[in-house]
Structure 1
Amino acid sequence: MIKHGLMRWMRGVAGMVLAAGIAVGAARAEEPDKLVLQLDLGVRNVQFAGVLWADAHGWFEEAGLDLEIRPLPKGYGDLAANVAAGEHTIGSIEGGLFLSGRAAGEPVVAIGTMFQASPLGLVSKVHHGVKTPADLVGLKVAVHGDGHEALATVLETGDVDPALVTVSEAEYGDGPLLRDEVDAKQAYYVDEFVRMRQAGHDVTVLRYKDFGHRAYSQVLFVSETTLAENRDALVRFLQVHHRGWQAALADPEAAAKLVVERYEPQLDLAYQVESLKQIGELVWAEDKRTGAASPATWTEAAERFRSTHPDAELEPMAAWTDFTLVEEAFADGEL
């Protein structure tokens, strides 16, 4: 009796230990994968509406992800370098700046993009009559450091001699344009242009994408280490990213309201609604799979970068792009 009772007790203890081990293992398996999305703006506005919609509705958590959406802090420094040095971090950056970072030796890889076309353009007052690149002849044009190659492409497309356009470095803010210190200024037509129109200024925009500038904006990129160690989590991120943008663009008014009320109450709601409506044509400009990028567009961007940076050493595209994560994200055909 004692022997049989002892055996039953031991079997019971073993069962409890096994059950406890299974429970701990299950808990560990269910721990979400940590990711950081480092934005290239200091504000979480509707340029990131798809991600913010998914975050607010808990879709990243449902996919087993613990995602921190981090606005760009003041004094953050070089975005590509910081993402390259960070753990489990996804960066969002302009295509040209991504290429600059890679050419500078940063071990970063593009895994997708938020905008499949560039929102870059030149904003000018209507009275200048700027509708095509040819209308820039004789004008003073201000561009930022990352915009010279884009402007060069636009002028080449319009068969305009660059010597006939006075180009200077742009200050941040609308002041120089509104004070007529320059005639046209580089801007996002989904952002600064909308803001000036909302403020009542009589301005127009020359959209670069309409005149030969093929480039990606809000490129999603990671370090080579993050890609190797977090591949499955990154695929799930891209799946939720797609779902979020589908929902946000299906109802721009609701999405803009969510962004303002939940994330950035200081933003003007009407401004955000109009900006998001402009963004809609950029997200799926090439492919209905959100985040997808094409080798052809990256090849063109790389050739343009090399032509304007003759001393830069940019490796072949296979070293700094990975198209397979998007392919995996859409492999089941449900998205």
Structure 2
Amino acid sequence: MRLLTLCLSLCLSVPALAADKVTFLTSWYAQAEHGGFYQAVATGIYKKHGLDVTIRMGGPQVNGVQILSSGQADFLMGYDLQVLKSVETGVPITTVAASFQSELQGMMTHDDVKSLADLKSRTVLVSTSGRTTWWPWLKNKYQLDDAQSRVYTFNLQPFFADPRSAQQAYASSEVFAANKGGVKTRFFLFADDGYPPYGTTVVTMQKTVKEKPDLVARFVKASMEGWKSYLQNPAPGNALIKKDNPNMQDDQLAWGVEKLKEYRMISSGDAATLGIGTMSDARWQKTRDFMVSTGLLKADVDWKKAYTTQFVKDLRVLP
């Protein structure tokens, strides 16, 4: 009895291991496209994996790579072209998982456009960042010309006013706004026409991968479990999204979740059999090759430093 009492006393006196504090920086204001990460906080999935995660919102004036590389965040919501360019310039970051099997970027047109090939006769609204990402790919694929492009300022009024215009868009945001405004549109996801990058990736420092592989593995697994949970019941994650971004309304969140499911962003391609978050060498090479062919990346860049599959190859968080 004394031995049992002593054992219980010792067990109670040993403090529980503190969860590892992690800061995750998103790419924009909180929205459905970030839902899996918020879900993992809201439902305790991160906590289950020994993580105390703080989600920090990005925005138009936020330099995510700079914040990550300066140690102010542990993980960054990134995209493939950004990471490849960073590797080219000597910034040692790397991608450890891909939430979406394709990039959300696409083209919103008026409803008389039948395919992206019809853009030859249209004015195309392109943002500054778009000119160094998807626009060179689209221009080469459909023989478009810079002369037909105009600057997209994230204001939909020029598109509404000109029936011969088309503009960059996400199905979950600009298309939603056009729909609410009563404007009939069509949306063409670039990935359906072969645009190769992954979307909503998880990026960290190469040093973190080397020195804290267990932390990275736990964050990746918990995040992908968060995405699976979010698709099943997004309510907990949405509550936190609205707390961080009070401008986000229920109808837009519902629309966003619907589009994630409609386009199978999380569960398509290799993710259907290998699990949410998976990546492949072949896909990364396609992105590298497109960037080199359009002059966005030097051919001699060690592009394989831009990603590692070690944390997703055996993950098997099946959708």
Name the TM-score, length of structure 1 as normaliser: 0.81
Among candidates 242, 245, 249, match of residue 227 of structure 2: 245
Among candidates 11, 22, 34, match of residue 35 of structure 1: 22
Query: In the TM superposition, what whole-angstrom CA distance separates every residue of 1:40-62 from its partner, at most 9, and x where no partner exists?
Result: 10x21111111111111122112
Amino acid at match of 1:272: L
CA contact (8 A) 1:60 1:67 kept: yes
Secondary structure of residue in 2 paired with 1:293: coil
Which residue of structure 2 lines up, in the alignment, with residue 268 of structure 1? 249
* 1:282, distance to aligned residue in structure 2 (A): 0.6
Question: Against the structure 1 CA distance between its residues 274 and 75, is the aligned structure 2 distance closer, same or farther, given a 3 Å change threshold?
Answer: closer
Query: In the TM superposition, what whole-angstrom CA distance separates every residue of 1:125-173 from its partner, at most 9, and x where no partner exists?
Result: 22xx22212211121102223434524434544xx32239712332123
CA contact (8 A) 1:142 1:182 kept: no
Q: Say whether 1:134 aligns with 2:120.
A: no
* 1:309, distance to aligned residue in structure 2 (A): 2.5
Tell which deviates more after alignment, 133-142 or 264-273.
Answer: 264-273
Question: Against the structure 1 CA distance between its residues 48 and 327, is the aligned structure 2 distance closer, same or farther, given a 3 Å change threshold?
Answer: same
CA contact (8 A) 1:87 1:226 kept: no
Q: Distance in 2 between matches of 1:199 and 1:112?
A: 36
Q: Distance in 1 between matches of 2:224 and 2:103?
A: 18
Tell which deviates more after alignment, 254-263 or 164-173.
Answer: 254-263
Q: Distance in 1 between matches of 2:165 and 2:34?
A: 30
Among candidates 266, 284, 292, match of residue 278 of structure 2: 292
Secondary structure of residue in 1 paired with 2:311: helix
Query: In the TM superposition, what whole-angstrom CA distance separates every residue of 1:54-94 from its partner, at most 9, and x where no partner exists?
Result: 11112211211011100015633x32232122256111123
Q: Say whether 1:210 aligns with 2:192.
A: yes
Among candidates 147, 166, 172, match of residue 190 of structure 1: 172
* 1:315, distance to aligned residue in structure 2 (A): 2.6
CA contact (8 A) 2:123 2:149 kept: yes
Q: Distance in 1 between matches of 2:229 and 2:107?
A: 30
* 1:232, distance to aligned residue in structure 2 (A): 0.7
* 1:277, distance to aligned residue in structure 2 (A): 1.2
Secondary structure of residue in 2 paired with 1:225: helix
Among candidates 106, 111, 114, match of residue 99 of structure 2: 114
Q: Distance in 1 between matches of 2:146 and 2:76?
A: 37
Query: In the TM superposition, what whole-angstrom CA distance separates every residue of 1:199-242 from its partner, at most 9, and x where no partner exists?
Result: 32222212211212121111211111222232111111111112
Secondary structure of residue in 1 paired with 2:102: coil
Q: How many positions carry a matched residue from both structures? A: 307
CA RMSD of aligned residues (A): 2.9
Amino acid at match of 1:144: S
Q: Distance in 2 between matches of 1:204 and 1:88?
A: 38
Name the TM-score, length of structure 2 as normaliser: 0.85
* 1:256, distance to aligned residue in structure 2 (A): 6.8
Tell which deviates more after alignment, 88-97 or 309-318.
Answer: 309-318
Q: Say whether 1:301 aligns with 2:287.
A: yes
Question: Against the structure 1 CA distance between its residues 178 and 54, is the aligned structure 2 distance closer, same or farther, given a 3 Å change threshold?
Answer: same
CA contact (8 A) 2:87 2:305 kept: no
For residues 3-42 of structure 1, the aligned pairs below 5 Å read 23=13, 26-27=15-16, 30-41=17-28
Which residue of structure 1 lines up, in the alignment, with residue 3 of structure 2? none
Question: Against the structure 1 CA distance between its residues 265 and 87, is the aligned structure 2 distance closer, same or farther, given a 3 Å change threshold?
Answer: closer
Q: Identity, % of aligned pairs?
A: 19
Tell which deviates more after alignment, 307-316 or 60-69.
Answer: 307-316
